[in-house]
Amino acid sequence: MLEKIAATRYVTPLREGGSLPGVVEADDLGTYVVKFREAGQGRRVLVAEIIAAELGRRLGLRTPELKLIDLDPQLGVREPDEEVQDLLKASTGLNLAIDFLPGALGFDPLGWIPDPVFASRTVWFDGLIHNVDRSWRNPNLLVWHRDTWLIDHGASLWFHHNWRTADPQRPFDASDHVLAPFAADVAAAGDDLAGRVTRELLDEVTALVPDEWLDGE
């Protein structure tokens, strides 16, 4: 089960994405990037984030620690931005907190050459979770303490947005993947990682999703 914390201060919105996550301080003295349950893309994004990030962590990839954060309706009372205030009020209850990596830099493929084994594993992993959002336009990678971290998996598991039309045989197109040019042997990465993806592991990571996020889905 993910650790539960409580939000104590809303610091600032992050406007890079369309879902308007925010930097939030919590009662464990930590600082987090919070994705809100009532943001435009809905709770399914949070479900995908937990399953994908925790699966990646268990496969040896670096992803920031996740926690569940409780949001009090009074937190946004003094927020001057009406859009943010409405989002905070609507998202009362459990939301997703992602450990804030201070000083992290966005990955630039022109200035940072990734390890080919890491690149191969990441491309294979993104194929497994059908992550369509790690491209040259939006790498969703951070460099922190000279290590590369995977972030923002909300676009993964796209099939759970429409189960009826989902095609499990649909191939993953990695042609636009930011790490594809550096991936020396994706097949070898798959041979190494595939055996670790057991039913028990999938049960473990899916059990981390709060039941209340699945209500009505």
Residues in the chain: 217
User: Can you give the pLDDT at residue 188?
Assistant: 98
The residue range of the domain holding 127 is: 105-214
Residues 111 and 160 in one domain: yes
Cα separation of 34 and 45, whole Å? 12
Residues 46 and 116 in one domain: no
Quickly count: other Cβ atoms within 10 Å of residue 46's Cβ: 24
Among 74, 99, 124, the domain boundary falls at 99
Quickly count: other Cβ atoms within 10 Å of residue 206's Cβ: 13
Measured torsion, CA atoms of residues 112, 158, 100, 107, in degrees rounded to the nearest 10: 10
Domain count, the chain: 2
Residues 57 and 127 in one domain: no
The single residue listed with the structure tokens 């890491």 is 118
CA distances for 36 relative to 4, 22, 112, 174, 216, angstroms: 15, 8, 31, 29, 17
Beta bridge partners of 177: 135
Residues 112 and 187 in one domain: yes
Cα separation of 44 and 26, whole Å? 24
3-state DSSP assignment of residue 149: strand
Q: The pTM is what?
A: 0.93
Query: For the chain, what is the total number of helices (H) and then of strands (E)?
Result: 5, 8
Residues 75 and 130 in one domain: no
Tens place of pLDDT for every residue, the chain, 217 residues?
Answer: 899 999 999 999 997 766 799 999 999 999 999 999 999 878 999 999 999 999 999 999 999 999 999 999 888 888 888 999 999 999 999 999 999 999 999 998 888 889 999 999 999 999 999 998 999 999 999 999 999 999 999 888 877 666 677 776 778 889 999 999 999 999 999 999 999 999 999 999 999 999 999 886 6
Cα separation of 119 and 97, whole Å? 26
Measured torsion, CA atoms of residues 51, 132, 176, 128, in degrees rounded to the nearest 10: 40
